[in-house]
Structure 1
């Protein structure tokens, strides 16, 4: 079992403090959901774990099986087993998806993967995610739809087989069918050697990929941790009820929205 431990983490962007003392512990074999209104630090937390240069860790620690993650470069964090599926994947014209994926795989191996094994693995994973067969020859994310970019992030995760996957709103931009496909792949990866941390505003993702632990992050602090009952209450009442805990909301309440609800509302408008 591997453990990713975050202790009293403070993170700033351009001298503005975003995370104000976050402490969490993730273990392989577990799936954690981090929820909270927009602009309260969820994406900042995952980006700081991965080492995004935009975010400055001012105090606290992050360790992976006792190793100091903050002392590692981004590529060293990846080699150590961390993976971030980005909320807004970047387009990289001039670099084909296959070249990028092969280089990423080889960076984490002592012996380069054979061309035959790579093609077989890549083709199988593309088929599992029901992506276009020409994906491997297209420039990375260039001209991709939002949904294609998100599936491409999960494709990378599937090929790299990380110890901990940090999934930042992988469901945004996906239609219902694509969400089921992506969720199936994530569920198939679940085992005692794999840990997952998810961010989403939508209960539908958590219905398909059931978390074992749920945390609510508001104004840069974890204000509540528990099980799926927290998701159910947020779906019913939004975040307004956290005021009962003595917590002031940083912004207007945002309610977890079911994809089915959106479809019903749109249908009623058209009717």
Structure 2
């Protein structure tokens, strides 16, 4: 069984005001097939955690480890992390002018697997995934995310997730900007990937609405760069009612 382990992770970033510590000792274990939701106020470090796992150069790990099946992810380049099974669905997917969705997907699949997929099987898989995500087949020949609406960009992220078949996916506020219909479609895609491959998911969100469709096994409250509390799905419901004030007060008192 695959496992993603985050141990005592401390991360800094350089700002105009100097070095700033964002993550202050994060510990988290995600097993294959588990869904972990991370919830917390703005500026608490949730996206920093996502981009650190993915290997964004802006974030400097000063202490701690990220291990995938015992291998030190922090020693890997971004593309190496993708090849061993990590995937990041970005909060704000970027446009790639001049690169069609079809070419992007096939190139990514070839790079991750080390060989090009069978054309016949690949075309069938792409069409099936696009149909499931209710994406017009014309999108395959459009440039990646260029002129896409917010919902179309998020569906395109989940299309990649389904086709690239990673071991673990970090979904950074995938629900932001989605209407109810798009939210259901995207959630169904994540649930399909989990059912088909045993995907482990780290789901970052502000709101409980996506958790109605993607049921978490664990919920973690993220405040001031660390996990302040963790529990089951019922914790998300409590956060919806109470907010994060009591955690922030406790954090301020501790400092």
TM-score w.r.t. length of structure 1: 0.89
User: What is the DSSP-based 3-state SS (H/G/I as helix, E as strand, rest coil) of the residue aligned with 1:248?
Assistant: helix
Distance 2:85 2:108 in 1: 12
Instruction: Give the distance between the partners of 2:42 and 2:114, measured in 1 at CA.
Output: 41
Would you say 1:218 and 2:218 are equivalent positions?
no
Question: How far apart are residue 241 of structure 1 and its match?
Answer: 2.9
Whole-angstrom CA distance in 2 between matches of 1:4 and 1:175: 31
Aligned to 1:81: 85
Find the counterpart in structure 2 of residue 256 from structure 1: none
Alignment of 1:85-234 (within 5 A): 85-191=89-195, 193-234=198-239
Deviation at 1:6, TM superposition (A): 0.6
Q: CA shift at 1:178, angstroms?
A: 0.8
Q: In structure 2, do the counterparts of structure 1 residues 243 and 49 end up closer, same or farther at CA, with 3 Å as the change threshold?
A: closer
Task: Write the deviation string for residues 2-36 of structure 1: whole angstroms up to 9, x where unpaired.
Answer: 11111110111112110011111111121000010
Checking the alignment, whether the CA contact within 8 Å between 1:51 and 1:70 is kept in structure 2 is yes
Gaps of 5+ in 1: 250-271
Distance of 2:213 and 2:115 partners within structure 1: 36
Equivalent residue, structure 1, for 2:241:
236
- Say how many residue pairs are matched: 248
Aligned 8 A contact 1:166 1:196 in 2: yes
Determine the structure 2 residue equivalent to 1:3: 3
Calculate the TM-score normalised by the size of structure 2. Answer: 0.94
CA distance in 1, matches of 2:40, 2:169: 19
Cα contact 1:2–1:193 (8 A) shared by 2: no
Contact 2:224-2:251 at 8 Å conserved across structures: no
Matched, 1:54 2:58: yes
Runs of 4+ in structure 1 deviating by more than 6 angstroms, as ranges, are none
Moved more, 114-123 or 126-135: 114-123
Distance 1:222 1:153 in 2: 27
1:109, CA displacement in angstroms? 1.7
Q: Which runs of 5 or more residues in structure 2 are unaligned?
A: none
Shift of 1:44: 0.4
RMSD over aligned Cα atoms: 1.4
Q: CA deviation at 1:240?
A: 1.7
